[in-house]
Structure 1
Amino acid sequence: MQDQNKTPIYLETNGDFRMRELDKGDLDQFNALLQYAFQVTTKELFETGWAQDEIKYAKRPILEEAYVIGWFYKDRLASMIVVYHMQVNVHDNIMDMGGITGVATYPEYAGRGLIHSLMRRVLDYMNKQQMPLSFLCPYSIPFYRKMGWEICSDQLTFNVKDVQLPKARPVPGMVERVSLDSEDYHNVHSYFAFQQHGCMIRDTLSWEEYWRWDNDDMIVAVYYSREHKPLGYVAYYIANEIFHIKEMVYLNLEANYGLWNYISAHFSMITQVKGNNFSGEPMAYLFEDSEITETIAPYIMGRINNVKDFLKAFPYQVTPEDFKIHFKVHDEMAPWNEGDYMVSWHDGETSCEQVEDNQSINVVELNINTLTTMMMGYKRPTYLYDHEKLKTEYYMLTWLERLIPVEKPYFSDYF
């Protein structure tokens, strides 16, 4: 139950349904809906190393540090959504980002538009909190596409047989296993994230989410240079003679070789290596035996919450002098984004302002989905034009290709 000493502040009402922000007093209902909606049983939680009290109270920081709102039906939580305040690297420019998670509804309340209204509410919240971007891990891509989110990155999975592992290469450093909260491990990720487009900047809560559903068998090994400088890591576990890589990050080629030397050193213990690759680039070419198995699947969806702020802050690859481009944007869920945004450059500075929708030259017309995936670099302007995802004069494609950096997002987090 909510704190009885507080008078509930309802954001919306609809008959017996009332929308409000959740607090610590709603912890039991919050946890129950999460477990029901995502089909996580207490038995499964125990098997991944959770104790009874931990299962319940691990979620307390979410209610303290995140924005959580829900619909209540006669004081029973019926539907909810969670927004974390996070940061992400957009072509070397660190932007505030809303991480959306915990989107859940009990089936008896489905079909009433509860999630749709919550989505509108959190979009307004993120806009007012000056978070120009938001990301979510979709359970249904079509569902979120209707509300303006679009695919922004892929997860590539690979399967390497033991006989296909790369031969050892001489490196001056060495690998050491460290704790999951090792400062060296975290520092490598931070350094990587600040130079890798699309990567999330992890704070304490982000690290907790990163490990939340992993079991106690996870191991982290860090590669150190000759001067004992951490240059890379691999997070993994071994089970049933399989080396499972959760994430592998390296800051230079030396660390890459050193980490694969370490993995290959498990040759007598394993029959194969399975792992995740979030770079957007297949790995087969880099193996001497390139007949490895790789699969690709959409991973994260993104959305521009405030077009004006995003286009003004975006680090364009070139800054043409006295050039103007009009982005005519359509966004049904966020009416403040609907309109013509004129981006221009002068003396190396970028400006963006909303103007009257009557322009006839340098116009690029598209919806919020396409604008997001294009600016994030997941799909190139020419590809989107060829598939009729945007409307513009053909000559404008050259400008768009020049303006938007050529780099796919790296996003490895889950929340």
Structure 2
Amino acid sequence: MSRRKLQDRLKLKNVETSHGEQFNDLLRYVFQVTNRDLQTFGWENREIAKSKLPVLQHANVLGWFDGDKLISQLAVYPFQVNLFGHIYEMGGLTGVGTYPEYANLGLMNKLMLHALSNMRDRKQSISYLYPYSIPYYRRKGWEIISDKISFEVQDTQLPKLRMVPGNVERVTIEHPDIRTIYTQFALQNHGAMLRNELAWEEYLRWDLDDMTVAIYYDSDDHPTGYLLYWVAEEIFHMKEMVYLDEEARTGLWNFVSAHFSMITLVKGDIYKNEPLAFILDDGDIKETIAPYFMARIVDVTLFIGQYPFKAQESDCELVFSLHDPMLEWNQGTFTLSVNKEGKGSLQEGGGKPSVIADIPSLTSMLMGYKRPAYLARIGRIQSDGASVQLLEKIIPNEHPYFSDYF
């Protein structure tokens, strides 16, 4: 059969709960999740289709069908993120895959266009994703916006006990204080996701059954930090350490150090630009940094209208020439106006552009992952010195935090 005839018989439509088995079959094939993998994570006696049912119930899932067969798909989760203290609606892109015999037909590009258009309609002005291929998603308009620092600390390098007024309690993952702490933490940290029920389910989906939670309570019995962890083969695995203040951080590390006689190594990840080595007495530890999540601005006008620029002594204005590899509404000449209070707006049109940028670079810059001066220096944006200095003044200087996975 010719490729043209094949394309003509394919239909793009929503993936419903009735397609759950096909949805999971495609995910397992594309990401090579085997039965042995499922057994390793304790899923051998569970129905994976049921485990993913909330995705099909609460997410926007699009797919290409060849007759009744689902052959290409993606899902957009309805999430929220904290960007410099403002809550944004975010479309979390996941479940992306196409069977190899249907590759190179442009199916995924059309799916993404539909998904991004739907995000715009739902006022989701930014999208996050975990990339299986950074170059691929860069070509679609996403850019790296967060890093993951993985560390290994030998038992002899663990912090010495430091007295704190509170105490740690071990609890189950269902304890309500965990979500209370995380919500406060997310509201304090730029880039973080405000986890709804779907987000929590995704975050904990593949965890081992023996994962434990330790909560730090201050002297007034307020929960101010928690640690998700498990111990296996003399290794202390830290999934997530969340703390609202330094007292909680110290208390949780005291708890980790109390395992000295049981372990030889502590392994974990940090999702902020704060290497662990600096705060340990013995900082000669192993740390590796890797790019983690990517994001792209979906609707640049809406995004700018919500963005908290830094207050200045007077109003300011810049003219941008923007390029988006997929979305026509993000392309062209735009005038950015920011008043003294930091309220910005973006209007189509303007004079000669003083800043030339593409959506990936603009996303990285406005997310605080890379500064304007750096992007100009490496040629990712083109601008005169005065415009770069103005961007440095009005864009908040804070590195994104993002620890979730979906």
Deviates more, 1:148-157 or 1:249-258: 249-258
| CA separation of 1:355 and 1:320: change in aligned 2, threshold 3 A | farther
Deviates more, 1:41-50 or 1:76-85: 41-50
Aligned to 1:279: 272
Corresponding residue to 1:60 among 36, 53, 60: 53
Q: Is the 8 A contact 2:309 2:338 kept in 1?
A: no
Corresponding residue to 2:81 among 88, 91, 110: 88
Corresponding residue to 1:221 among 214, 221, 227: 214
Q: Is the 8 A contact 1:319 1:350 kept in 2?
A: no
Q: Is the 8 A contact 1:150 1:303 kept in 2?
A: yes
Task: Establish whether residue 292 from structure 1 lines up as the match of residue 285 from structure 2.
Answer: yes
- By how many angstroms is 1:364 displaced? 1.3
Give the whole-Å Cα distance in 1 for the aligned partners of 2:98 and 2:257.
45
Aligned to 2:169: 176
Q: Is the 8 A contact 2:311 2:342 kept in 1?
A: no
1:236-256 Cα shifts (integer Å, max 9, x gaps)? 111110001111111111111
Corresponding residue to 2:121 among 128, 134, 158: 128
1:42-77 Cα shifts (integer Å, max 9, x gaps)? 232133122544312111111110000111112211
Give the whole-Å Cα distance in 2 for the aligned partners of 1:196 and 1:237.
25
SS of the counterpart of 2:188? coil
Q: Number of matched residues?
A: 401
| CA separation of 1:371 and 1:348: change in aligned 2, threshold 3 A | same
Corresponding residue to 1:138 among 131, 134, 141: 131
Q: Following superposition of structure 1 onto structure 2, how do residues 16-415 of structure 1 map, counting pairs within 5 Å?
A: 16-50=9-43, 52-346=45-339, 348=341, 350-360=343-353, 363-415=354-406
- TM-score using structure 1 length: 0.94
1:250-303 Cα shifts (integer Å, max 9, x gaps)? 111111110010000000000010000001221111111110010000000000
- By how many angstroms is 1:347 displaced? 5.7
SS of the counterpart of 1:378? coil
- By how many angstroms is 1:320 displaced? 4.6
Q: Is the 8 A contact 1:322 1:345 kept in 2?
A: yes
Q: Is the 8 A contact 2:342 2:394 kept in 1?
A: no
SS of the counterpart of 1:15? helix
1:106-151 Cα shifts (integer Å, max 9, x gaps)? 1111111111111111111101111000000000000000000000
Deviates more, 1:65-74 or 1:318-327: 318-327
1:172-197 Cα shifts (integer Å, max 9, x gaps)? 11111111121111111000001100
Give the whole-Å Cα distance in 2 for the aligned partners of 1:341 and 1:282.
38
Let me know the Cα RMSD of the aligned residues: 1.4
Give the whole-Å Cα distance in 2 for the aligned partners of 1:248 and 1:33.
33
1:144-175 Cα shifts (integer Å, max 9, x gaps)? 00000000000000000000000000011111
Structure 1 unaligned spans of 5+: 1-12
Q: Is the 8 A contact 1:83 1:100 kept in 2?
A: yes
